[in-house]
Chains A and B, each alone.
Chain A
Amino acid sequence: MGRYVIRRLLQAIPLLFIISIILFVLMQNMGDPLATLGGRQPTRSEDRARLARQLGLDKPLYTQYFYWLVGNDWTMIDVDGDGVAETEGRRKGVLRGDFGTSLVSRGRSATEIIFERIPNTLLLMIPAELITIVIALVIGIYSALRQYSAIDNVVTTISFVGLAMPIFFVALGLVYVFAILFQRWGLPSLPANGMFDPRIGRSPGQLLIHMILPITTIAFISFAGYSRYIRSAMLEVISQDYIRTARAKGLSSRYVLYTHALKNAALPIVTLIGLNLPFLLAGAVVTESIFAWPGMGRLFLDHLGRSDTPVVMGILLLTAIAVIVFQLLTDITYALLDPRIRYD
């Protein structure tokens, strides 16, 4: 198992290299990060040259990538523009955990900016994911056991609609009903913006109310896929011979369900959850921008709009690493759940 994990991690390295090069090249044409650095005034051309030099943006692309990757503290760079490289580089490079300094928020490291936002995103994602899994498990199993019953048909319809619905449609619909209409009707309404009401201030209660709508949005969208998937995984398992055998032996249907069926259906369900988790981060882009939630998705959009390469690259690479780690965790869980699967 240990060797397998190491081999998988080694295989991931070229992937990260390829995607980081593609993304780095794409980031170069994102518009001019220097244009907004002059504050309200357009940046003067001598300032522009100086800033480009200081930020290393005047270097050719491959040098920029190289510095981004391994840092430049081993070499001298030319900061004052006299053609003599005399200042020591400070960057450590991605390989040593330094994603560089944000171009937009001057002086703050990209890592710091990103990690400041990750908890906010997780605050939405983890509860939404847990709620989705629990509800989807209950309903998916129920509709598999009562295939073509009324509830099964309703759930199937809802999940088809959910799969076809753009997230913003769900979000705007929920906001309209629960925030706008409820207020208009004099019912207790839910807030639709941000994490706190500035008039009340930060409190756990406030946070909870503000979480309801975004979480419902995310949960509704992922519920569609999950319940459908769990239903078909269960349907496949309960048609197997060993389930019939277990029933024929006279075991109670509850026992057959929990010990025989669910264990075997767990494998595809784990796949779904494991592979889906990191992609939730991306799904957060739309949700966070509608609900003005200060998470990673909003951060990505804001800094992409201002061509902040270090922060955007940081978010993209961290997500890519998360995807790889979760793929690996999924495969390891396989081996734990199913003794037939051996990786060595």
Chain B
Amino acid sequence: MAQGTLPLKPPAEVEAPPLTLGQMAWRRFRRHKLAMAGSVVMILLLVYAFGGAFFLSEEYANFTDTSIRLIGPTAGHLFGTDTVGRDILARTIYGGQISLLIGLAAAIVQVILGIVIGAFSGYYGGWIDSVLMRFAEAIMIVPTLFLLLVMAKFFGGQIPELTILGRTFSGSVVVIILIIGLTSWPRLARIVRAEFLALKENEFVVAARAIGTRPLEIIFRHILPNTIAPIVVTATLGVANAILAEAYISFLGLGVQPPTATWGNMITGATNYIESAWWLWFFPGLLILFTVLSINFIGDGLRDALDPRSRPS
């Protein structure tokens, strides 16, 4: 019995394995020029804020010497000095660390609250949904800046100084992170809720429920991964909004307290020196602008990459 004499020819072209969601997203993201530019600028800013720390110490950034106050940009002080003679270049480095940290941490608080509240609201419906959503709407009818200022005043000065990784932070950093997170979750919660409302009727959820999967597992393991695209985009833009919010609160004097620098609180009081010292507000302001701009571009790219159906707005 001669069988199998016909040699099985290997296919001329080996088919590439199917791309994962991440690979497809990365391909689309790479094509988005502005998003790639934004990523590069963002990396440079991170290098500036965290790498700069190796060249200038924090003691130097907080060192006051009023004999050299309000010196314009010179070779010794590239960005000039502030009203008490601190070096602005060094302060933008350490202020950048705090501003970026606040942006990231506040976005994490926002995402956790938004996901949990939105998911429970959408999955359970009924009175849980009503209560949570009325709460979200109640927060949304007060302009965020008002709410932030009231909360900043409320929690202000209640948290003592903290020492993390050998650095001492003003407790107001934690306060700002919390209040930005606490005021920004409703929008994300509504997005997540809408996704859950649509997804929970799908067969895979019905099947999971039929075999007795616990509700928490259905929510977080079965439904949540399907809503990841809008969450990632909102979280990215949330970082930018948090950095801006911190800048506003600190600018108005209710945010992070000196000597801990942030890009926002470095500009506090610059109005009084507008005639003599433009460098007080120019450099920190420019850094905020670059950061927010590049994060927005990245967010735009992520939106196109993760959800090709969505139109670029």
Chain A contacts to B: CB under 8 angstroms: 14-16, 18-19, 22-23, 26-27, 29-31, 160-161, 163-169, 172-173, 175-176, 179-180, 192, 228-229, 232, 236, 278-279, 281-283, 285-286, 289-290, 300-301, 304-305, 312, 315-316, 319-320, 323-324
Please, which residue of chain B has its CB at the minimum distance from the CB of A290? B271
Docked complex Cα distance between A23 and B296 (Å): 32
| B150 within 8 Å of A (CB atoms) | yes
Asked if A286 and B252 sit within 8 Å, CB to CB, the answer is: yes
Asked if A283 and B274 sit within 8 Å, CB to CB, the answer is: no
Residues of B within 8 A of A180 (CB): 274-275
Asked if B145 and A26 sit within 8 Å, CB to CB, the answer is: no
Asked if A160 and B134 sit within 8 Å, CB to CB, the answer is: no
| B261 within 8 Å of A (CB atoms) | no
* A-contacting residues, B241-291, CB 8 Å: 244, 247-248, 251-252, 264, 267, 270-271, 274-275, 278, 281, 285-286, 288-289
Query: Among the interface residues B138, B252, B313, which one has the most CB atoms of the partner chain A within 10 A?
Result: B138
Residues of A within 8 A of B247 (CB): 166, 168
Asked if A166 and B251 sit within 8 Å, CB to CB, the answer is: yes
Residues of A within 8 A of B281 (CB): 168-169, 172
Q: Known contacts A166-B288, A175-B274; decide if A19 and B311 are in contact (CB<8 Å).
A: no
- Besides A168-B285, A169-B285, A300-B149, 4 more A-B contacts (Cβ < 8 Å) are A23-B150, A166-B292, A179-B274, A319-B146
Residues of A within 8 A of B144 (CB): 282
Q: Return the 3 tightest CB-CB contacts between A and B, nearest first.
A: A282-B143, A169-B285, A164-B292
Q: List 21 A-B contacts (CB under 8 A).
A: A15-B138, A19-B142, A23-B142, A26-B150, A26-B154, A30-B153, A161-B289, A163-B296, A166-B285, A169-B285, A172-B281, A173-B285, A176-B274, A192-B274, A286-B248, A300-B146, A300-B149, A305-B153, A316-B150, A320-B142, A324-B141
Asked if A19 and B251 sit within 8 Å, CB to CB, the answer is: no
| B42 within 8 Å of A (CB atoms) | no
CB distance from A126 to the nearest CB of B (A): 17
| B199 within 8 Å of A (CB atoms) | no
Docked complex Cα distance between A19 and B153 (Å): 17
| B135 within 8 Å of A (CB atoms) | yes
Residues of A within 8 A of B151 (CB): 26
| B297 within 8 Å of A (CB atoms) | yes
| B302 within 8 Å of A (CB atoms) | no
| B217 within 8 Å of A (CB atoms) | no
**Interface SS of chain A:** helix
CB distance from A268 to the nearest CB of B (A): 11
| B161 within 8 Å of A (CB atoms) | no
A31 touches which of B153, B252, B270, B288 (Cβ 8 Å)? B153
CB distance from B300 to the nearest CB of A (A): 9
CB distance from B264 to the nearest CB of A (A): 8
| B100 within 8 Å of A (CB atoms) | no
CB distance from A232 to the nearest CB of B (A): 5
| B65 within 8 Å of A (CB atoms) | no
Residues of B within 8 A of A283 (CB): 143, 145
Asked if B289 and A169 sit within 8 Å, CB to CB, the answer is: yes
Docked complex Cα distance between A315 and B147 (Å): 12
Q: Known contacts A236-B311, A282-B145, A290-B271; decide if A22 and B138 are in contact (CB<8 Å).
A: yes
Chain B contacts to A: CB under 8 angstroms: 134-135, 137-139, 141-146, 149-151, 153-154, 240, 244, 247-248, 251-252, 264, 267, 270-271, 274-275, 278, 281, 285-286, 288-289, 292-293, 296-297, 311, 313
CB distance from A220 to the nearest CB of B (A): 13
Docked complex Cα distance between A113 and B244 (Å): 30
Docked complex Cα distance between A10 and B264 (Å): 41
Docked complex Cα distance between A172 and B273 (Å): 10
Asked if A172 and B293 sit within 8 Å, CB to CB, the answer is: no
Asked if B143 and A232 sit within 8 Å, CB to CB, the answer is: no
Asked if A232 and B145 sit within 8 Å, CB to CB, the answer is: no
Residues of A within 8 A of B264 (CB): 166
Docked complex Cα distance between A173 and B139 (Å): 33
Residues of B within 8 A of A22 (CB): 138-139
Asked if A160 and B297 sit within 8 Å, CB to CB, the answer is: yes
Asked if A166 and B149 sit within 8 Å, CB to CB, the answer is: no
Asked if A304 and B297 sit within 8 Å, CB to CB, the answer is: no
Docked complex Cα distance between A217 and B146 (Å): 20
A172 touches which of B139, B141, B274, B311 (Cβ 8 Å)? B274
Docked complex Cα distance between A175 and B252 (Å): 18
Asked if A232 and B240 sit within 8 Å, CB to CB, the answer is: no
Q: Known contacts A18-B135, A26-B154, A176-B274; decide if A320 and B251 are in contact (CB<8 Å).
A: no
CB distance from B130 to the nearest CB of A (A): 10
Q: Known contacts A160-B293, A172-B270; decide if A319 and B137 are in contact (CB<8 Å).
A: no
Residues of B within 8 A of A166 (CB): 244, 247-248, 251, 264, 285, 288-289, 292
Please, which residue of chain A has its CB at the minimum distance from the CB of B240? A164
Docked complex Cα distance between A176 and B165 (Å): 40
Residues of A within 8 A of B137 (CB): 15
Docked complex Cα distance between A301 and B288 (Å): 23
Docked complex Cα distance between A279 and B148 (Å): 14
CB distance from A30 to the nearest CB of B (A): 5
Docked complex Cα distance between A166 and B291 (Å): 11
